[in-house]
Amino acid sequence: MSLSSNTAFSDFDIQMMQKAIDLARKGVYSTKPNPAVGCVITQQEKIIAEGWHQKAGEPHAERVALDNATESVKGATVYVTLEPCSHHGKTPPCADALVESGVARVVIAMQDPNPLVAGNGIKRLEQAGIVVDSGILSEEAAALNKGFVSAMKSNRPFIRLKVANSLDGRTAMANGESQWITGPESRNQVHLMRAQHGAIVTGVGTVLADDPSLNVRLPDDVLAELGLTAENCHPLRVVLDANLSTPLEAKMLSLPGRTLLMTSKETADQSLDLIERFYQKGAEVIAVESDGDKLDIPSVLSYLLENEKIYDVMVEAGAIVAGAFIQAGMVNELHVFTAPILMGEMAKPMFVLPGLAEMVDKKVFAYQSVQALGEDLYLVLTPKNVSAEEV
């Protein structure tokens, strides 16, 4: 079979891959930075094993399923959401494990975009005489690991921008007060989002106005269902702070989890004593490229990807930083939580963006989902490329 198989998949194939995707979804919160992967093994259209990757550094989905088999897997069919790895990392190659097990057929949802794999796992299986079919429910499988796919294909993290606003598009009072615009159901969803991401990015303006925690506050039983604990659930907190204006008494500096202050190289060179005080408080300081008081967003994201191995970034910031990410074309998904309230013209807007000279310059988004959360509406949108004819 070729890497782009044209196999006509049976209803049973589709059902089994859907089950593998459901299994993979159990690891979405706990596997980062590794992709979430699920695996089902069948013998004569009977499930004999299931498995999913539960945590980075632990066995991958294929090996978990092989270990869970209730009978011999010789001649069996394996359904896996991502191409089996073919390289040695923290665990040995899954392609080798499948070859050694004697399975006859491997059905793969999507090829691994990781250059270390990128078809080599499939080739290893085919060289051993195993039938390989690929491309079944590939879009569903890719949706589970948007950050991983973005990092491997585009060399940057997947960015989700979260905004909580009123019906008239306001996000905070004139004095910066923003707690709470939305209801408890929306806030719970935000904590789930935080738990899914490797990092949360905010601006120093938000720190000065709100003194936020930017941590995950979910009950222990919910964390356990997500494969997390109260100790390991918190994303890296990243504050964009070109002038190092974050107070040494900021709440987030004393909370579990890491806080990273990103500043300009000029400020870093002139603030060695202050930086040492931040380190004593438990914060870390990193200098990136900047243009005056504005940090270079691509440099920020490159650091997070290359040095922190963070593939999913959540931006939870005020109008200036939120607008900067949109203007830079760095937002993959816009998550909007809209409350049924009006805050008036003195309140702060959702985004600070330059004025438009022509309608053709407008920023257009496409709705991906709309749902009610308590009294609020939760919208997920993606950027849309618009032709001149559509203006």
- Sign for the CA dihedral angle at 326, 299, 151, 53 comes to negative
164 is in an annotated binding site: yes
Query: Is there a binding annotation on residue 39?
Result: no
Retrieve residue 156's tokens: 């940057």
* Residue 214 annotated as binding site: yes
Instruction: Find out whether 49 is annotated in a ligand binding site.
Output: no
225 is in an annotated binding site: no
Contact 124, 99 (CB under 8 A): yes
Given its phi and psi angles, is residue 285 left (phi above 0), alpha (psi -120 to 50 degrees) or beta? beta
Q: What is the C-alpha separation between 107 and 131, in angstroms, rounded?
A: 8
Alpha helices in the chain (DSSP H): 11-25, 61-68, 94-101, 120-127, 138-143, 146-154, 184-196, 204-210, 220-225, 265-270, 272-280, 297-308, 319-327
Phi, then psi, of 384 in degrees rounded to 5: -125, 130
101 is in an annotated binding site: no
How many Cα neighbours within 13 Å face the side chain of 19?
Answer: 19
- Find out whether 69 is annotated in a ligand binding site: no
104 labelled binding-site residue? no
Q: Is 324 annotated as a binding residue?
A: yes
What φ, ψ does residue 349 adopt, rounded to 5°?
Answer: -80, 175
94 marked among binding-site residues: yes
210 known member of a binding site: yes
Question: Catalytic site residue 62?
Answer: yes
Which residue carries 């009006």 as its tokens? 342
Query: Are 43 and 70 within 8 A, CB to CB?
Result: no
Report whether 86 belongs to an annotated binding site: no
Close Cβ partners of 251 (under 8 Å, ≥ 6 residues apart): 211, 212, 213
CA angle 116, 121, 124 (to 5 degrees): 125
194 is in an annotated binding site: yes
Tokens of 211: 């003194």
178 appears as a binding residue in the annotation: yes
C-alpha dihedral, 160 to 165 to 169 to 170, nearest 10°? -120
Q: Which of 349, 356, 314, 320 is nearest to 335 (CA)?
A: 314
DSSP secondary structure letter of residue 322: H
Beta-sheet pairing, 131-134 with 105-110: parallel
The answer on whether 20 is annotated among ligand-binding residues is no
Catalytic residue among 50, 62, 83, 308: 62
The reply to whether 321 sits in an annotated binding site is yes
Determine whether the annotation assigns residue 206 to a binding site: yes
Among candidate residues 95, 100, 120, the one with its CA nearest the CA of residue 39: 95
76 is in an annotated binding site: no
Query: Annotated binding residues for Zn(2+), as ranges?
Result: 60, 85, 94
Query: Annotated binding residues for substrate, as ranges?
Result: 178, 194, 206, 214, 217, 316
Query: Annotated binding residues, as ranges?
Result: 60, 85, 94, 164, 178, 180, 194, 206, 210, 214, 217, 316, 318-324
Active-site residue numbers? 62
Query: Annotated binding residues for NADP(+), as ranges?
Result: 164, 180, 210, 318-324
